[in-house]
């Protein structure tokens, strides 16, 4: 990951799919929608944050 280059969609897609599965979305969500919803969920529920981190670690994405 580069500090100056943006992440490619192909890099973000597996993370977005995993996040959508954890949250319960049936379809892949738009990244900008997940940015808003994710921030709100993280601020309101620390258990959700931990679940996402553990799920990403189990999938080898961290």
Q: What is the DSSP string of the chain?
A: --SSSPPPHHHHHHHHHHHHHHHT-SSPPPHHHHHHHHHHHHHH-HHHHHHHHHHHHHTT--
**What pLDDT does 1 receive?**
66
**What pLDDT does 23 receive?**
76
pTM as predicted:
0.36
User: Where residue 50 falls among pLDDT bands split at 50, 70, 90?
Assistant: confident
Do the domain assignments include residue 3? no
Number of domains comprising the chain: 1
Do the domain assignments include residue 30? yes
Q: Which two tokens stand for residue 62?
A: 């961290």
In sequence order, the 6+-apart residues with CB closer than 8 A to the CB of 31 are 9, 12, 16
Mean pLDDT of the chain: 73
Lowest mean pLDDT, pick from 6-10, 18-22, 37-41: 37-41
Do the domain assignments include residue 45? yes
Do the domain assignments include residue 2? no
Do the domain assignments include residue 49? yes
């Amino acid at each position: 990951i580069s500090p100056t280059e943006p992440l490619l969609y192909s890099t973000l897609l597996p993370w977005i799919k995993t996040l959508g599965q954890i949250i319960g979305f049936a379809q892949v969500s738009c990244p900008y929608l997940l940015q808003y919803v994710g921030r709100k969920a993280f601020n309101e529920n620390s258990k959700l944050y931990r679940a996402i981190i553990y799920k990403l670690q189990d999938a080898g994405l961290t």
